[in-house]
Amino acid sequence: MLKVNERDYPFTEGMRLGELADRLKPGADILVLNGASASRDSLLQDGDICSLIKIGEIPSALDMQHTLEARHGREVQRRFREATVGIMGIGGLGSAVALSLAKIGIGRLILADHDVVVLSNIHRQHFFIDQIGIKKTVALKKTLVRVNPFVSITALDIKLTEKNIPKLFGDVDVLVECFDDPAMKAQALRTALQHLPETGYIGASGVAGYGDANTIACRKITDRVFLVGDGASDARDSSGLFAPRVGVAAHHQANQVVRLILGLNEDE
C-alpha cells in the first residue's frame, strides 16, 4: 500500500512516481517521495509516502480533514472541528494561541482586539512588517486563512468590556484571555466567573522577562478555569516581554484549550 497525499493507494510492482501523478493529480508541479523531492521516473516501493503538489493549489476541505485526522486521530479531530474557541486580545499571547489552534483545525475561532499592528509588536506577536498599520484582527485573519482556510474565523475589531464579553463569547466552548493590561485580565475573569458558568476559561498572568520558562505553569482555579504563567513576572518591570517566554505561556494556553475540548480532567 502507498500513502498518496495522506490517503491509501494500492501499490503495484514497477509503478513510477510520474505515472502515479498523471493518474491522481495531472499537472502536478512537485513530486515528493518520502519527504524529499523526486523525479517522475522514481521507482516506487511498497509503503512509500508520496505527495503530489500543484504549486498554489488550495487543498480541498476533505484533503485537509484527512491530513489532520491522520496526524491527530479521527475522534480527536472531530472534537476539534466541532469546537468554538474565543480569544480575547491577539497580541503576543493571542496571536500565538490563534495560530496554534488554526493549525490543529479548531472549527471556529472568535478573535477580538481593537489595536492596530505597530512596529513594537513585531518582536513577539505573529504579525509581519508589511502589516504595520493594519488592524490586528484583519492582519491575523489573513495569516490564519493561509494556515488553514477551513477554520471559520470571526474577527471582532472591538474593545472588550464586562458588558460585551458575555454576549460576544456566550456560545464558545473555551475562552482564552490574552490581554496585556492586568485590569482587563481581572475584569475578564470576574465576568467569566459570574456570567459564563459553563464556559472553559484560560487566563494568563506572569509571562514577562527571560526567567526560567519552567516556572510557567497552568494552574487549575476551578474545574473549568485555569491560569497560565508564573503569577509574578510583570511586563512593567524592567525586563519587558520576550517572544520565547510569552510563546511558552501562549502554548500552555493552547494546550489547555485542547485538554478542555477533549474533556480531560486535571485530576486524572
Partner 1 sequence: MIDSPCQGKNFYGKNSSFLFYNEAVKPFQPYRLSMKKLQIVCNGQPQEVPPGTTLARLLEDLTLPTDSVVAEINKQIIDRDQYATLKLAQGDQVELIRFVGGG
Which one of residues 174, 175, 204, 254 is an interface residue with partner 1 (CB under 8 A)? 204
CB under 8 A: which stretch of 12-20, 34-42, 139-147, 177-185 binds partner 1? 177-185
Q: Is 150 in the site for partner 1 (CB under 8 A)?
A: no
Shortest Å distance, C-beta 128 to partner 1: 20
Q: Is 187 in the site for partner 1 (CB under 8 A)?
A: yes
Q: Is 86 in the site for partner 1 (CB under 8 A)?
A: no
The DSSP call for residue 235 is: T
Query: Phi, psi at residue 67, to the nearest 5°?
Result: -65, -45
How is residue 71 written as a grid cell? 496526524
Residues 6+ apart with CB under 8 A from 99: 126, 143, 144, 147
CB under 8 A: which stretch of 3-11, 21-29, 41-49, 189-197 binds partner 1? 189-197
Q: Rounded CA gap, 68 and 81, in Å?
A: 10
How is residue 248 written as a grid cell? 511558552
Size of the site for partner 1 (CB under 8 A): 35
Instruction: Give 37: exposed, middle or buried? Use CB within 10 Å, 0-12, 13-18, 19+.
Output: exposed
Which one of residues 20, 50, 77, 91 is an interface residue with partner 1 (CB under 8 A)? 91
Contact 216, 253 (CB under 8 A): no
Which one of residues 68, 93, 109, 112 is an interface residue with partner 1 (CB under 8 A)? 93
Q: Which residues here bind partner 1, judged by CB under 8 A?
A: 89, 91-94, 178-183, 185-187, 189-190, 193-194, 203-208, 221, 227, 229, 231-236, 241, 246
